Amino acid sequence: MDEKEVRAAVTLVDANIDFLKSGVLTISEGVDVGSFILSGGKVIA
């Protein structure tokens, strides 16, 4: 990954964390938090 790609990935992770904090995204029980955040909320149990 180059610096531009890394910055884009960090921006997406930050946005997903904000979505979790605001309740836009919710994590189901049993889902790996890291995978959930990195996938944009697409990982399910």
Secondary structure in 3-state letters for the chain = CCHHHHHHHHHHHHHHHHHHHHCCCCCCCCCCHHHHHHCCCCCCC
Q: Does some domain include residue 21?
A: yes
Within-domain flag for 12: yes
Considering the domain boundaries, does residue 8 fall inside one? Answer: yes
pTM: 0.78
Residue 11 included in any domain = yes
Question: Does residue 43 sit within a domain?
Answer: no
Give tens-digit pLDDT for 1-45.
Answer: 899 999 999 999 999 999 999 999 999 899 999 999 888 888 877
Whole-number pLDDT of residue 10: 95
Q: Does residue 45 belong to any structural domain of this protein?
A: no
The domain of 32 spans: 3-38
Count of domains forming the chain: 1
Assess if residue 34 is contained within a domain: yes
